[in-house]
């Protein structure tokens, strides 16, 4: 069964102020964060030069390779991004 973050886990992540729209894009001021939360189900890896673990609100995590295109996580409201380097 997929891991779904509890409300408390999600609230704790949001408190760290790493919710943003540009995540680990090479041009992003957020690309040195330990993690980013993207408030969308749509993620692009175009312009991202590092491997990321993408964990959607609903569903299974995946490892996305650099510059590997777009990903859609269905009815998730957010995706947690964690660098894998």
23 within a domain of the structure (yes/no): yes
Structure-token match 């491997």, residue found: 51
40 within a domain of the structure (yes/no): yes
Tokens standing for residue 36: 């980013």
Whether 13 and 33 have beta carbons less than 8 Å apart is answered as no
2 within a domain of the structure (yes/no): no
Structure-token match 């312009």, residue found: 47
13 within a domain of the structure (yes/no): yes
Decide which of 5 and 74 is more confident: 74
pLDDT at 1: 45
34 within a domain of the structure (yes/no): yes
66 within a domain of the structure (yes/no): yes
pLDDT category, 15, cuts 50, 70, 90?
Answer: low
> How many domains does the chain fold into?
1
**What domain range includes position 75?**
7-83
Could you tell me how far CA 63 lies from the centroid of its own chain? 11
Per DSSP, the three-state class of 19 is: strand
Prediction pTM value: 0.83
Which range scores top for mean pLDDT: 1-5, 14-18, 35-39, 43-47?
43-47
pLDDT at 2 over 60: no
* Residue 52: CB atoms within 10 Å: 26
pLDDT at 14: 63
Distance CA 66, CA 50 (A): 5
pLDDT at 18: 87
62 within a domain of the structure (yes/no): yes
């Amino acid at each position: 069964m997929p891991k779904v973050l509890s409300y408390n886990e999600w609230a704790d992540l949001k408190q760290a102020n790493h919710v943003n729209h540009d995540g680990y894009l090479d041009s992003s001021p957020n690309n040195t964060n330990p993690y980013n939360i993207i408030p969308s189900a749509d993620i692009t890896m175009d312009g991202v030069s590092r491997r990321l673990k993408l964990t959607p609100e609903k569903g299974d995590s995946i490892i996305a390779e650099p510059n590997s295109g777009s990903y859609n996580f269905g009815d998730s409201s957010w995706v947690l991004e964690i660098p894998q380097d």
